[in-house]
Structure 1
Amino acid sequence: MYDFTLKGYLNSDVATVYQAFSEPDILSKWFAPGNLMVSQMMLSFTEGGQYRTVLVGPDGFQQTIMGTYQEIVPNERLSFTWRWDDTNDITKVDVTFNTLPNSTTSIHLCQSGFAQEQDMLSQQYAWLACLEKLSLATRNFSPVQHQAYAA
């Protein structure tokens, strides 16, 4: 199995960053890599609640992501499953938020359980692109390191 970890900093307080992961209006602004956009987003942001997000490209190509929120600790941690609608492969995403001085937040995102390395690499690049958009929604994300692992 393959997984990756992204670590970085956002020049925004932890409550704002957490809200960007939990509020559909904010989430839809950044939760699509590159030139993709969120066309539909449905979520029940509770432990055991499900989400479904439809991404659409400029050419009309659509992809759907779905999963279940497994753990929610406000302003500290999120854990949820991740599955593209065209596959049965389910991965897990863990996100940790930490408050730092000067209204800065560190973010640690790990996605694990990939059967194929190429799928892991594609998803890693997609998250990096999404986090760039998150920086615009919360201001100034600067990744400090990312790692990929094979088990």
Structure 2
Amino acid sequence: MSKTVSEITGLLWNHSYAMGAEMTARGVRFPLFTGNELADLMAHLAFRGYLGGDGDPKRGAVVFASKGCVACHKGGAVNAPDLAAVLKGTDRASLAAAMWNHAPQMHRLMAEKAPFWPKFEPGEMGNLVAYLRSLARPSGVSKSPE
């Protein structure tokens, strides 16, 4: 069964916490994506049949709140950026890379505060991505095709 780019991002996110702990235990550095590396990976996956449409921004707003993202990523947050400002002009692959690269820092910050590591169910990451992209888009501007 094919998975969408957003679903793959969700799977990577869910896996990153356990993977990060194991990599730390083994002394292996967490891999970061730079430049177009993740875009190239996503293009390859799309070519292989991993195509997907946009999620629902309204459902994504619910995911943003229910997974606890809003606690740190709201305007004026101390330890985390306001995502509406950071994500301006970001495409899906760049957003996925930013989330992946952000995971190690989140692990450290969340360990200090002991909140839960959010786990995404199928469809939730696509909705979250749609919501985050809607924040970065000026109102009245339609989404661009990808």
Pairwise TM-score range, normalised by the shorter structure: under 0.3
The answer to which structure has the higher strand fraction is 1
Bigger relative contact order, structure 1 or 2 (CA pairs below 8 A, ≥6 apart): 2
* Structure with the largest fraction of helix: 2
